[in-house]
Amino acid sequence: MKKLNIGILGLGTVGGGTYDILVKNKDIIQKRTGVTIEVVKILDLRKRPGVDESLFTDEPDEVLNNPEVDLIVETLGGIQPASSFMLQAMKHGKHVVTANKAAVAATYEELQKTAAENNVRFLFEASVGGGIPVLTAIQNALAGNNFLEVMGIVNGTTNYILTKMTEEGADYADVLKDAQAKGFAEADPTADVEGIDVANKLCILIALLFDKYIAPTDIPTTGISKITGDDIAAAAAEGCKIKLIAHATLKDGQVVCSVAPEKIPDSHPLAGVSNEFNAVYITGDMVDEVMFYGKGAGALPTGSAIVGDIISVAKEL
Amino acid sequence: MKKLNIGILGLGTVGGGTYDILVKNKDIIQKRTGVTIEVVKILDLRKRPGVDESLFTDEPDEVLNNPEVDLIVETLGGIQPASSFMLQAMKHGKHVVTANKAAVAATYEELQKTAAENNVRFLFEASVGGGIPVLTAIQNALAGNNFLEVMGIVNGTTNYILTKMTEEGADYADVLKDAQAKGFAEADPTADVEGIDVANKLCILIALLFDKYIAPTDIPTTGISKITGDDIAAAAAEGCKIKLIAHATLKDGQVVCSVAPEKIPDSHPLAGVSNEFNAVYITGDMVDEVMFYGKGAGALPTGSAIVGDIISVAKEL
């Protein structure tokens, strides 16, 4: 039986979910791939009950430069040191799988170039839309298309807030407080509500769909913090819902893009995407419209996407 | 530059769409794969204006046993001779890509076994949901999951008829006549309206999701021909829409399955799938719910899925 040894950087929510899937579904993954996949090293300061203590280290090099490790799962979050760790792992000949949209968006070109130079795989399905397998589809099953447009609801916090404002006729500030109390929004919600997280994800979608890198900071970005109950009522009167949309269109060979609240007609498939759900709606010149829908966050949905990427490396062994 | 030479069996709607995509998007496909993909032989009695006449043959062996052909696209439709042709091509060491749900469902186990024995790829993304990349996702990005349930709207004709009955309060017979006049239903609509086409697709979904072969004729199947305007009104009064659902659930380790009209609550993502659109809604133990939506038929959407399968073979060269 072939083996694929995994090193995990950061055993938090997503890293922990990935670990749990690899343990719980080990048998079926082995049956489907013909490969035994095992976590052999974990970079984290905090050990986790139930996980073999000897796997843990607080020394990055013991994972990144470990000859036993074939593939690195990066789930630290944030641009640094995550980006440097991924580049270092690639230079040591290790495949890299990550859920980290901020790092992928900020360091995209260097990460792709370094992966190619070192002949390793660099996969990041989990970085956009959590468990929804949209990036894999763009790069494989849909790759016969010239892509024309993408519209994405790719942030669960803002979609939850907008859904509650719509359903309850409530104002932004009240719903945000409630979302924070329920754990759907962070204490400092800026990255979510101002569209920064969505801009990172749109940068990644544009890179894959249009083979063009536009830095997240160069994407015109408006969040939802200025949306009022009146705005939502006015949209409803026109038969529309307000959604925070990651939007990119190919116009005369140029990519036109924005992150902004948009009025989506009730008849559009994206209008029915409620609460914390995500969806990505893509138009290709051959396939026409396709939409991918599911949970855009959470330990197990996001871990499912990471494990999918690990499986695709395993199948190539 | 590496080369992948294609033989097409049947240059009808779907075969023709595939040919058109390979020609029109040749440059971008070559850029994405690093492989030149070329159609070198076509089995069809009728030549097509604009396609090099010398490619055509009416002798199956000139494609199936042609040493220049690396991959066969089977778009003849029907169980035979399509199944025999695919098996013969595999035995001659050729990869096989097909859109033919009837042949895949009827001959599934022999096709998979023969592909494995001859170390060739057997891909059939286009056979379920047309251009929607659901089968690839099940086998790759979602493969870390134990699958629990699938619900699919996978026949455009019946979904169009049910949508019109719902929107216009019309009866089945009148809408069917209108659909036939508009080309959305065939002169003999039996395979569509009685659920036979859907049972073929459910057989394929079950095989991939649950690693179990249930012949389409063993799936309890009820079509839509007995649905009345009153049934639809009664469902609407309960806040539901009637949809023809391919349904399979894992219960105590057993696959329970059916094709039948079901009442779907308006809040369910499948309720919003209207007209000729298709969608497949899958539950996995880790990813939870995901849905794939798009055009389930047509020359270019279906051709897009076939070309996606061809690209995945090209990438492995």
* Closest B-chain CA to A32: B143
Going by their DSSP bridges, the two strands B254-265 and A2-9 should be labelled as unpaired
Rounded to whole angstroms, the Cα distance separating B121 from B315 reads 12
Candidates B28, B143, B272; nearest CB to A146: B28
pLDDT at B1: 87
* Closest A-chain CA to B299: A286
Number of H helices, E strands in chain B: 12, 11
A62 to A9, A14, A74, A88, A121: CA distances (angstroms): 11, 21, 14, 12, 21
Is A201 annotated as catalytic?
Answer: yes
What's the whole-number mean pLDDT along residues A152-173? 94
What are residue A140's phi and psi, to 5 degrees? Answer: -130, -80
First to last CA, chain B: 11
Candidates A136, A301, A315; nearest CB to B287: A301
CB contact under 8 A, B292 and A287: no
Query: Is pLDDT of A165 > 90?
Result: yes
A59 min Cα distance to partner chain B (Å): 29
* Closest A-chain CA to B300: A286
Identify the band that residue A38 occupies on the pLDDT scale cut at 50, 70 and 90: very high
Burial class (CB in 10 A: 0-12, 13-18, 19+), B46: exposed
pLDDT at A170: 87
Longest dimension (CA), chain A: 62
- Indicate the DSSP class of residue B133: -
Cβ neighbours of A136 in B, within 8 Å = 136-137, 140-141
Q: Which residues contact A97 (CB under 8 A, 6 or more apart)?
A: A71, A72, A73, A74, A121, A123, A124, A126, A306, A309, A310, A313
pLDDT at B316: 92
Cβ neighbours of A33 in B, within 8 Å = 143
Q: Which residues contact A278 (CB under 8 A, 6 or more apart)?
A: A129, A130, A132, A152, A153, A154, A155, A156, A159, A293, A294, A295, A296, A297
Please give the share of chain A, as a percent, with pLDDT higher than 70.
100
Task: Choose the mutation target among A153, A286, A316 for the interface with B, i.e. most B CBs under 10 Å.
Answer: A286
Q: Mind listing the pLDDT tens digit for each residue in A46-59?
A: 999 999 999 999 99
Rounded to whole angstroms, the Cα distance separating A150 from B131 reads 17
The stretches in chain B having pLDDT less than 50 are none
CB contact under 8 A, A136 and B131: no
Give the residue from A153, A160, A104 showing the smallest Cα distance to A132: A153
What does pTM read for this prediction?
0.97
pLDDT at B170: 87
Tokens of A131: 């468990």
| Range with lowest mean pLDDT among A183-187, A300-304, B90-94 | A183-187
**B2-131+299-315 adopts what CATH topology?**
Rossmann fold (3.40.50)
Query: Is pLDDT of A23 > 90?
Result: yes
pLDDT at A182: 85
To which H or E segment does residue B148 belong?
strand B147-153
pLDDT at A64: 98
What's the whole-number mean pLDDT along residues A50-78? 97
Specify the CATH number of the domain B139-295: 3.30.360.10
Give the residue from A290, A293, A302, A299 showing the smallest Cα distance to A275: A293
* Closest B-chain CA to A291: B293
ipTM for the assembly? 0.96
- Indicate the DSSP class of residue B285: T
B288 min Cα distance to partner chain A (Å): 7
What's the whole-number mean pLDDT along residues A88-101? 98
Q: Is B173 helix (H, G, I), strand (E, B) or coil?
A: helix
Rounded to whole angstroms, the Cα distance separating A243 from A154 reads 10
pLDDT at B184: 82
CB contact under 8 A, B304 and A284: yes
A212 min Cα distance to partner chain B (Å): 14
**Type of residue at B75:** T
Candidates B28, B137, B286; nearest CB to A21: B286
Secondary structure of chain A in HEC code, one letter for each residue:
CEEEEEEEECCCHHHHHHHHHHHHCHHHHHHHHCEEEEEEEEECCCCCCCCCHHHEECCCHHHHCCCCCCEEEECCCCCCCHHHHHHHHHHCCCEEEECCHHHHHHHHHHHHHHHHHCCCCEECHHHCCCCCCHHHHHHCCCCCCCEEEEEEECCHHHHHHHHHHHHHCCCHHHHHHHHHHCCCCCCCCHHHHCCHHHHHHHHHHHHHHHCCCCCHHHCCECCCCCCCHHHHHHHHHCCEEEEEEEEEEEECCEEEEEEEEEEEECCCHHHHCCCCEEEEEEEECCCEEEEEEEECCCHHHHHHHHHHHHHHHHHCC
Q: Mind listing the pLDDT tens digit for each residue in A202-218?
A: 999 999 999 999 999 99
* Closest B-chain CA to A136: B141
To which H or E segment does residue B202 belong?
helix B196-210
Give the residue from A6, A66, A56, A2 showing the smallest Cα distance to A33: A2
Residue indicated by tokens 């002949």: A119
**Active-site residue identified among B201, B241, B243, B263:** B201
CB contact under 8 A, B308 and A144: yes
Candidates B28, B32, B289; nearest CB to A294: B289
- Domain ranges for chain B: 2-131+299-315, 139-295
The string of DSSP codes covering B14-75 is: HHHHHHHHHHHTHHHHHHHHSEEEEEEEEE-SS--TTS-GGGEES-THHHHT-TT--EEEE-
